[in-house]
Amino acid sequence: MSAAATPVARRRPRVGRLNNLLVIVLVLIAAYVIIAIPSGDQAQQQFVNAVTIGAIYALIALGYTMVYGIIELINFAHGEIFMCGSFVSWWLLTTLGFSGAISDPILLIGVLILAFAVSMVVMGIVGVVIERLAYRRLRNAPRLAPLITAIGVSFILQNIVFVVVSNSIVTTPQIIPNTQLALGPISINLINLFVIVLAVGLMVALQLFIGRTRLGRAMRSTAIDRDAAQLMGVDINTTIALTFFIGSALAGAAGVVQGLYFGITVFNIGFQAGLKAFTAAVLGGIGNTTGAALGGFVIGFLEVISSVWGQGRWSEAVVFGMLVLVLVFRPTGILGQQLADRA
Amino acid sequence: MTAAAGAPAPVDNPGGVPLLRAHDIHAYYGHIHALQGITLDVFPGEIVTLLGANGAGKTTTLRTISGLMHPRTGTITFDGTDITHVPAHRLVTRGVGHAPEGRRIFGRMTVLENLQMGAYTRHNKAELEMDFDRVFALFPRLRERSSQAGGTLSGGEQQMLAIGRALMTRPKLLLLDEPSMGLSPILVEQIFDVIRDIHAQGTTVLVVEQNALMALGVAHRGYILQTGRIVLGDTAANLRQNPEVQKAYLGG
Ligand SMILES: Nc1ncnc2c1ncn2[C@@H]1O[C@H](COP(=O)(O)OP(=O)(O)O)[C@@H](O)[C@H]1O
Ligand SMILES: [Mg+2]
């Protein structure tokens, strides 16, 4: 057993990572050029839009991918969690009496923290309750059963909002002032900067949580082998509930962003947003958190590119055409189907 | 390898309170009656082996003991308390460690992370330090490969990792399900040496094996399982001498 001592690690060579970075930079430059050709002096604004929309899709896609990673369920109710999150934040902001931009920075920061905290916690709890009531007892049932249940849950959530709140588009307070900032050569609106920084921050935090912490290891081990995880002392029910909490909280955050950025929401907004985020998750390799984030940004760019080239008529067709192409030619996605894996 | 030489001290008349007692266990998979009244004891300080053909119910017995499944009737007591319906994740802290059939290591996690998973319920840093050292002393290979993904290890190394991971739970009773499966004769020897070492360090062992010759070599006592029933239970020495056991399990 002592023979043939090989030196410690076989890590990924640094050159590989550099190459990846180079590829990302080249792709971004290409995207910028493609956006710039038809949009002229609007190019920079459109580029920022793409990143912003991509960040929203990425936040939603993470929930799809985490839940799939741990219980192999495509949680079709996840888009509705995003929708409900947008309504929680609408309710909170209007109840507090806000209708437009808040100019006092301290107050603005306080209200933002409150809105995100409330929406994320409420939607996290809703996600946990849904898992407990609708999915848990179907954990060992044939795959179609929880899938259909998820579609049912999605209708229930839509109808609750439809009946209890509103059956038409509601206007949400855009509390972040419309201010153009200059970051060196880049001119960016405060709201875009806020959304991008927030989303990237949440994604980095999630990645560190999954990769570096004890609970993150519990989640990964449960995703890989539920029985083996139990033999290590992992309570898989709690771990799966935690996964639903985190995924739903991220969708709740995306819901708040929806209101702040677009200024509107509606009871059926979760359907299409959810489907696009699902496309992002599949594109990145479902079950893979890094892939979901990447897929979100790809979808953001696809949507903006197709809208600047086709005046908006084609963006849905392009995004869902992409879903079909990926499912047919590379069903494991860009980064492969590595359940709840590390970057 | 630090093999403890020689045969284990015989426990011909195990007495006192058993560490583990399964009494008349019946377990089912749907309508399949897999365990049809299993009764067995493991006393502190013993190595006990459970032998039997494929499909006899050995794995099911271990899964019911470690709480991955629960018997329909019958009782299991461990360390003086009834654990019949305690879920697996709670039994870990009570001292049941289980290296399951087929190793079941976390292939996409590193060797170190796999061992950390074994320590999942434990918080005493000093004790953990000792146990990492203990596992790395038993399996120097694991230290060399600690930052490598578990799935990239060879079969023998994966078995070492599975045992090491179970040891990191600091079990009073270690359940091993066919640790020699699929390994070369040299590796089988090594694994059984390690079982002796683990026992010598104070852990009680219940080992399921198809390799009856090796298992009866390390064990104090053994049980023979046939289609969900214990048909024979005796000291390892007596089982080795038993003509029927020789015919059915020892190739002679
Ligand atoms: N997951 C399962 N579903 C249905 N039957 C099973 C399952 N696992 C084992 N069995 C059946 O239970 C019996 C005992 O199996 P097992 O405990 O795996 O035997 P052994 O470990 O001795 O080979 C066998 O008849 C086997 O076919
Ligand atoms: Mg077996």
Closest Cα of chain A to B140: distance in Å?
A: 7
- Is B1 part of a structural domain of the chain? no
- Is B14 part of a structural domain of the chain? no
Instruction: Test B148 with A9 for CB contact under 8 angstroms.
Output: yes
Residue A231 is which amino acid?
L
In this predicted structure, what is the pLDDT of residue A105? 95
- Is A27 part of a structural domain of the chain? no
- Residue A60 tokens read as 């939603």
Q: For a pLDDT cut of 90, what percent of chain B falls above it?
A: 90
- Is A278 part of a structural domain of the chain? no
| Cα distances (Å, whole numbers) of residue A129 to A163, A222, A270, A332, B202 | 21, 20, 19, 30, 45
State whether residue A5 sits within 8 Å of chain B by CB: yes
Instruction: Test A227 with B100 for CB contact under 8 angstroms.
Output: yes
Pocket of ligand 1 contains residue B102 by CB under 6 Å: no
DSSP state of B127: H
Tokens 């079990």 correspond to B171
- Alpha carbon dihedral B81, B87, B93, B98, in 10-degree steps, equals 100
What region, left, alpha or beta, does residue A40 occupy, with left being phi > 0 and alpha being psi -120 to 50 degrees? left
Pocket of ligand 1 contains residue B29 by CB under 6 Å: yes
Q: Domain range holding A173?
A: 46-267
Q: Please state, rounded to an integer, the average pLDDT across all residues of chain B.
A: 93
Pocket of ligand 1 contains residue B64 by CB under 6 Å: no
- Is A36 part of a structural domain of the chain? no
- Is B208 part of a structural domain of the chain? yes
Instruction: Test A232 with B92 for CB contact under 8 angstroms.
Output: yes
**How many domains does one find in chain A?**
1
DSSP state of A103: -
- Is A4 part of a structural domain of the chain? no
Of A203, A224, A214, residue with least CA distance to A337:
A224
Q: Domain range holding B162?
A: 20-249
Name the closest residue on chain B to residue A218, using Cα atoms: B117
Q: In this predicted model, what pLDDT tens digit does every residue of A58-88 receive, in sequence order?
A: 999 999 999 999 999 999 999 999 999 999 9
Residue A41 — pLDDT band, cuts 50, 70, 90? confident
- H/E stretch holding A181 reads strand A180-183
Q: Which residues, 6+ apart, have CB-to-CB distance to B166 below 8 Å?
A: A231, B97, B98, B99, B118, B174, B175, B176
Predicted TM-score (pTM) of this structure: 0.90
- Is A235 part of a structural domain of the chain? yes
| Cα distances (Å, whole numbers) of residue B62 to A72, B193, B229 | 27, 22, 14
User: What is the distance between the alpha carbons of residues B89 and A49, in angstroms, rounded to a whole number?
Assistant: 47
DSSP state of A139: T
Residue B15 — pLDDT band, cuts 50, 70, 90? low
Pocket of ligand 1 contains residue B54 by CB under 6 Å: yes
- Is B194 part of a structural domain of the chain? yes
Closest Cα of chain A to B177: distance in Å?
A: 13
The answer on pLDDT for A214 being more than 90 is yes
- Compute the distance from residue B224 Cα to the ligand 2 centre, in Å: 14
- Is B7 part of a structural domain of the chain? no
Of B98, B63, B76, residue with least CA distance to B175:
B98
In this predicted structure, what is the pLDDT of residue B13? 52
- The CATH number covering residue B169 comes to 3.40.50.300
- Is A247 part of a structural domain of the chain? yes
User: What is the distance between the alpha carbons of residues B136 and B133, in angstroms, rounded to a whole number?
Assistant: 5
Model ipTM?
0.93
Picking from A220, A225, A338, the nearest residue to B104 by CB comes out as: A225
Q: In this predicted model, what pLDDT tens digit does every residue of A126-185 receive, in sequence order?
A: 999 999 999 999 998 998 999 999 999 999 999 999 999 999 999 999 999 999 999 888
In this predicted structure, what is the pLDDT of residue A14? 55
In this predicted structure, what is the pLDDT of residue A5? 38
Instruction: Test B100 with A234 for CB contact under 8 angstroms.
Output: no
- Is B176 part of a structural domain of the chain? yes
Q: For a pLDDT cut of 90, what percent of chain A falls above it?
A: 70
CB A284 within 8 A of CB A291: yes
**How many domains does one find in chain B?**
1
The answer on pLDDT for A342 being more than 60 is no
User: What is the distance between the alpha carbons of residues A6 and B192, in angstroms, rounded to a whole number?
Assistant: 24
State whether residue A221 sits within 8 Å of chain B by CB: yes
In this predicted structure, what is the pLDDT of residue A211? 93
- Is B4 part of a structural domain of the chain? no
Instruction: Over range A113-126, report the average pLDDT.
Output: 98
Q: In this predicted model, what pLDDT tens digit does every residue of B167-218 receive, in sequence order?
A: 999 999 999 999 999 999 999 999 999 999 999 999 999 999 999 999 999 9
